[in-house]
Structure 1
Amino acid sequence: MVQRTKSLNVAVVGAGITGLTLAAALRRAGVDCEVYERTPAFGRIGAGIQLAPNATRLLHQLGLADPLSRVAVRSTAIEVRSGETGALSGRVPLDDCEDRFGAPYCLLTRADLHSLLASAVPEGTVRFGKACQSLDETPEGVEIRFTDGTSARADVVVGADGIRSGVRQGRVRDEPVYSGLSVHRGLVPTDRLPSFFGEPRSTLWSGEGKHFVSYPVAAGRLVNFVATLPARQWHAESWSEPGEVADVAAAFADWDEALHTLITAAESVTRWALHTRNADLPWSTHRTTLAGDAAHPMLPFMAQGANQGIEDAFALASALAGGDPTDPAGALRRYEHARRPRALMVQQMSAGAARSFHAPDGDTTVVDALGALTDLFAHDAELLEPSP
C-alpha cells in the first residue's frame, strides 16, 4: 500500500467490522481518520462469524495474525450433511488454505473479531453516541450532523453503518425487502456437547425449505449454530432480537437427532429477519461513499458478508492513500470501480446459494454451490485496477 504523510481527513460513520477495519487500514496508510458510532459504548453482540483467507490475509497485514490465532478456530473443512439423516454428502477441504492462499479459514465470534479490530485503532479514534442525522456536502467538504445536535466536518465521509445505514438513507429512501427467511443464532459451551460438534470445521445440514450450520468458536470453548427457516415477515433488521429455543427445536424436530442435542443445550437464541436491498444504487458522490453492508447487504449463505466489508476497507484505504488529496472524487470512483463488480457477484452468489441450500435434494446441490467458494479466496483487495 502507498504510504503518505499528508492526505485527506476521513470520517467513518459506523464502528462495526467494516468501519474499524477501514480506520485501522487508513491509519496504517498515514491517513487521518475519525470514526463516529451511534451506540454509547461497544458491546459484545452477535454470535459466530467465518473469516475466509481473502479477509484473514488482510487482517494479518494489520498485525492481527497472532491475536486472531488465540481466539479463532482454524477450520479444516466445510462438511455438508443430509438434514433428515445426518449422512455426509460432501466436503470442501480448507486445511490447505495457508499453503494455497497465504492465510487460514477462521471460525470465531463476532465479538472477538470486533474487539481485535478495536485494539488496532488508537484510543480516541471512535466517538461514541454519534448517530448520523444528515450530511451536507459541498465542493469544499462534508458536514455531518448528529442527532445529539453536534456536527463534524471532513474531506470524505464513508458510510460503514450497516444494513440500516443513515448515510445510505440520506441519499435514497430504499426499503428493505423481506426474503421470506429468518435466522436463529445460538452459542453453546462445547463441554455440554458430544465431541462431534467441537471438531474444527463447519457443518451444514440441508433440506427442503431450511438449513442448519454449526461450528466451534472462541478457541474451541463454544459452538455456534445458525438455523435458517421460513418465517412470517417482521420489520426488525437486527442481529440481536430475542428468539425462542423451543421454536428452533420444533422447526428441526424431524431432522438429524444430533441437531436436537445441540439446540436444546442452548439457553437462549437471537433471531434475525433476512432482508435484501436495491443493488443498483451508486455507492459514491464526490465526497461520500458506502462500504460493507451499507453498500451491498447480502444474504449470509456464502459466509462472505464481513469478508467483503474487510475487502472494501482495504481497497478504499488504498484508493484514498494513493490518490490526489485535491481530487477525492477520483479516489472514490477508483474504489467503487474496483470493488462494485466483485461485491455484487458475491451478493448474487449468496442469493443463489439460498435456493441451492433449500432444494429438495439440498444436501447434494449444496456441495456444488460451495464448490465455488474457494474461487473467492485468492483475491487481493489492495490491487486496484485503474479506472477507465
Structure 2
Amino acid sequence: MDTLRVAIAGAGIGGLAAAMALNREGVRVDVYEQASELREVGVGLHLASNGSRILRGWGLSEPLARVAVRPAALEVRDWAGGRTLTRQDMGDAWERRFGAPFYTVHRPDLHRLLAERLPAGQLNLNRRVTGFHDLGEDGVRLTFADGGTAHADVLVAADGVHSVIRRAVAGPDAPVFSGMSAFRGLVPAGRLDGIPRDTVLIWAGPRSRLLCYPVRDGRFLTFVAVVPSAGRRPESWSSTGDPDEVRAAFAGWALDVRALLAAVDEAGCWALYDREPLPAWGTGLVTLLGDAAHPMLPHHGQGASQAIEDAVVLGHCLSRAAADAGPGGARHLRLADALRRYEAIRRPHTARVQAASRDGGSQRLGPAERPDSAERPGSAAATRSLVEDVSWIQSHDVRDDLDETAAEVVSHETV
C-alpha cells in the first residue's frame, strides 16, 4: 500500500503542528504556504498547560523553556492607583495542578520551533491554495493562484479564518463582532522599572483592560490593551494601530500603565471577532484545523493550544485509517471516515471553548457595582474565579478523548 499523503494549506502554528503530528505517525506531508518566506507575525501568546503537555510529549520541553517564560504569578493591579490587589501563584503550583507548565511565548519563537522540525522538502512557499476537487477514490486535487495543481490523499485547511477551503466546505458565514478591539505590541523590558519580568499582570478598568506578560526569556514584555471599539475595524491580524491612540485610551490610568505604554514604538490593532461554531468541518477527504475550524476570541488564550490539540487527534485518526485501509474505494472511505472521527472528537470541545472565550478571562474582572462585593476585581475570590474559569480547559488532556481503539495503539508517551 502506498504511504498516505496529506496536503496542509497554511504554515502557521496550526499547520506546522499538524505536520509534526502527522510526521510522527509516519504520514507523508506537503505543506503549502502562500507567503514567499516562512515567518509568523504577532507578539506574545499564552501556551497553556493543555498545549504544553503535547509539546513536551513531542520532545520540545528544553527548546521551549529556553525561549519562553514560565510565569511565577498572576497579579491583578488597581487600574487607577497601581497597587497590587491580589496575587495568584503560578509556576510550580500551576504545573502541579494542571500537569504541565503554563508558558508565555513570543509567537514567532513558537512558530520557529515547529518549523525547524519540518523535514526538508515538505514546505512549499508561494503556493496559495485557491480551490480543490475531491476526486473520491483518486484523492484530492489542489489548485493554486499561479495556475498549478497538486495531488494528495487528504487535504487539511489550516490557513485561518479567511480560508477559501472553509468557505467551500461550510459555506459563507458572518463574523461576530465583540464590540472590542485589542492593541498589542512588544516593549523591551530594560526600558521599564517596576514591572516584573516573571509575572502576568492585569489592570481591569471601568471599560478597558490591560494585560502585560513577559516573553523571550523575560527580555521583552507583551502588552494587550482591550478597549471598546467605536466602529468595526477590518478582521485582520496584520492591521497596525497608532500608539498615541492606545496611550490616550489609558491616559488616566496608573503610573506604571502609562509608563508601559509610553515605551511603545509600534502596535498592532485587531478588532475582536469570532464565528459561531460550525455544524461540520469538512466533507469527503477535506477537513479544517485551528482557526479555519474554530476561530475564537483571545480571552482564554487558547488559539494555539486548541490547534495543537487538533493536530494530535488528526494525526491519530489518519494514521489508524492508513494502517487499516485497503486499496481503491475502501481506502477512500476509510480516510473520509477518519476525518469525520477527528471532527466528532474535536468539535464539541472547541465549540465549548469558543463559547467560554466570549465572556471569560480578564473580562470577569470588570469593576463590580458594589465596592464591598466579594467578586470585586481585586478580591482573592475574583482571582480564584478567574483561575477556575480556565481550569477545565487547562487540565484537559486531549489524549483522553481518543476512542477505545485509539487507546489500544497510542500510549501517553507517544502521542
The equivalent of 1:168 in structure 2 is 166
Matches within 5 A, 1:360-371: 360-361=367-368, 363=377, 365=382, 367-371=384-388
Structure 1 partner of 2:372: none
Q: Secondary structure at the match of 1:33?
A: strand
Deviation, 1:166, is 1.8
1:71-86 residue pairs with structure 2 within 5 A?
A: 71-86=67-82
Amino acid at match of 2:135: T
Whole-angstrom CA distance in 1 between matches of 2:98 and 2:385: 21
Within a 5 Å distance, the mapping from 1:161-310 to structure 2 comes to: 161-171=159-169, 172-198=171-197, 200-310=198-308
Letter in 1 for 2:337: G
- Counterparts of 1:367 and 1:227 in 2: how far apart (Å)? 22
TM-score (norm 2): 0.87
Cα distance, 1:307 vs. partner?
0.8
Runs of 4+ aligned residues of structure 1 deviating over 4 Å after TM superposition are: 364-367
Q: TM-score normalized by structure 1?
A: 0.93
Among 22, 30, 33, which residue is 1:34 paired with? 30
CA contact (8 A) 1:159 1:167 kept: yes
Name the CA shift for 1:163/1:101 in 2 (closer, same or farther; >3 Å).
same
The count of aligned residue pairs is 383
**Structure 2 counterpart of 1:374, one-letter code:** S
**Matched residue of 1:284: which SS?**
coil
Select which of 123, 131, 136 maps to 2:133.
136
1:383 aligns to what SS in structure 2? helix
Cα distance, 1:387 vs structure 2: 9.3
Q: For residues 52-63 of structure 1, what are the structure 2 equivalents within 5 Å? A: 52-63=48-59
Matched residues in 2 for 1:387 and 1:181: separation?
43
Supply the AA of the counterpart residue of 2:6. V
SS of 2:386's equivalent in the other structure is helix
> Does the 8 Å CA contact 1:10/1:34 hold for their aligned counterparts?
yes
Alignment correspondent of 2:409 = none
Decide which of 331, 353, 360 is 1:353's aligned counterpart: 360
Question: What letter corresponds to residue 377 of structure 1 in structure 2?
Answer: Q
Query: Once the 2 structures are TM-superposed, how far is the Cα of residue 356 of structure 1 from its aligned partner?
Result: 3.5
- 3-state SS of paired residue (2:234): coil
The higher radius of gyration belongs to: 2
1:5-42 deviations in whole A, cap 9, x for unaligned?
Answer: 96521111110001000101111111111111111112
Structure 2 residue identity aligned to 1:123: A
Q: Which string of whole-angstrom CA distances, capped at 9 and with x for unpartnered residues, describes residues 122-147 of structure 1? A: 12211111111111113121111111
For 1:248 and 1:11, the matched residues in 2 are separated by: 41
The structure-2 alpha-carbon separation of the partners of 1:193 and 1:49, relative to structure 1 and needing over 3 Å to count, comes to: same
1:51 aligns with 2:50: no
Q: Which amino acid aligns with 1:384?
A: D
Q: Structure 1 residues 92 and 349 mapped into 2: Cα distance closer, same or farther (>3 Å)? A: farther
Alpha carbons 1:299, 1:347 under 8 Å: kept: yes
User: Sequence identity, in percent?
Assistant: 40
Instruction: Tell me if 1:377 matches 2:397.
Output: no
Structure 1, 51-60 or 378-387: larger mean CA deviation: 378-387
